[in-house]
Amino acid sequence: MAKQHRILTGQVAAITGAARGIGRATAQAFLREGMKVAIGDLDLATAQQTAKELGHGTVAFELDVTQRESVKAFLDGAEAQLGPIDVLVNNAGIMQVGHTIWEEDDATTQRMIDINVNGVMHGVKEIVPRFLARGRGHVVNVASTAGKGGFPGGGTYCGTKHYVVGLTEALRAELRGTGVEVSCVMPVVVNTELASGLTETRGVKTVQPDDVAGEIVSALQDLRFDVFVPRSVAGITKVMNLLPRNGREGLSRALKADQVLMQIDEGKRAAYELRASKSDPSLEAGDPTRQLTP
């Protein structure tokens, strides 16, 4: 007997970083399933325009994921307008690449940690108690296949995505038996502004935001934890894990995966890099590195 998909119609979803890219595509996919959607983004004007274009009652909020109180306000606002949240997609993230670890300026390093690491953690800490109180809910954390390896030119980015993968695996174990579900989304390079100017690998082609959105919908319907995009990457990852280190690194070089984040077209990435540099309003370029703990 074929496995029955879960029905998503009527569920409420909140998506961070959803004014554009994967977040926007996911919102659109959710709406096609009959879900109600709230999108949050630091760029409120674009988020409001996106909500207007998507229609179907989509609501937009200003959101700075680096600030936990902003995440709480986003979730509170979404629930006030749409009802209790059933799905949270922690999608907001930035990728500033093209430099070795020691050449990357401290402000850039801190910005990726604040957004990619703390932003996901803030979402988890704010939504999970709500889900536990209801005995249901689904946390979707958007990581990357970069969270399964380390690639030159993107040391900090890879590190932050390793964090998301590890956090999500721990969260799954902690929530086992509670009725709250967890998924970890790990796409390859996605054709968004974030990936502009990157080198393509051999064998694994760039995917589209709609591809990622479709797999997120599938993960909600089938309760899948590991969400590789494309799905074929799951097999590649298994093979890589079976190889000794020299074999893994040799295969990575053969696939040109070691060039993706280092050999970039700076001209094509200029607009994105500028926007990413302003994506944490509390940390301006050139600020001294802030400590994460006292």
User: How far is the C-alpha of 175 from the C-alpha of 2, rounded, in Å?
Assistant: 27
CA 144 – CA 186 distance, rounded (Å): 4
Helix 21-32 and helix 209-222, axial crossing angle in degrees, nearest 10 = 50
∠ CA 280-285-286, nearest 5°, is: 140
- For residue 138, the cross-strand partners are 87, 181
Sheet holding 36-41, edge to edge: 59-62, 36-41, 12-16, 87-90, 137-142, 180-187, 226-229
User: DSSP per residue over 237-271, as a string?
Assistant: HHHHHHS-HHHHHHHHHHTTTTTTTTS--HHHHHH
Q: What is the DSSP string of 266-286?
A: HHHHHHHHHHHHTS-TTS-TT
What pLDDT does residue 271 have? 76
User: Which of helix, strand or coil describes residue 80?
Assistant: helix
Give pLDDT, residue 293: 34
Q: Which residues are catalytic?
A: 157
Q: State the 10-residue block means of pLDDT for the chain, 294 residues long.
A: 81 97 97 98 97 98 98 98 98 90 94 97 98 98 91 91 98 98 93 67 78 97 95 79 76 68 69 73 52 36
74 vs 122: CA distance, rounded Å: 11
Q: CA 163, 213, 20 angle in degrees (round to 5)? A: 85
- Report H helices in 37-154: 44-54, 68-82, 106-112, 119-134
CB 264 within 8 A of CB 200: no
241-269 burial, b for 16+ CB within 10 Å, e for fewer?
A: eeeeeeeebeebeeeebbbbbbebeeeeb
Alpha carbon distance 78, 73 (integer Å)? 8
Residue type at 158 in one-letter notation = C
pLDDT of residue 210: 96
Kindly report the number of other CB atoms within 10 A of residue 129's CB atom: 10
Please give the pLDDT value at position 294.
32
At 251 the pLDDT is: 66
Closest by CA to 198, choosing from 268, 121, 103, is 268
Domains located in the chain, CATH noted: 12-277 (3.40.50.720)
The pTM for the full model equals 0.88
- Cα–Cα distance between 255 and 42 in angstroms, integer? 36
Given this model, what pLDDT does residue 263 score?
66
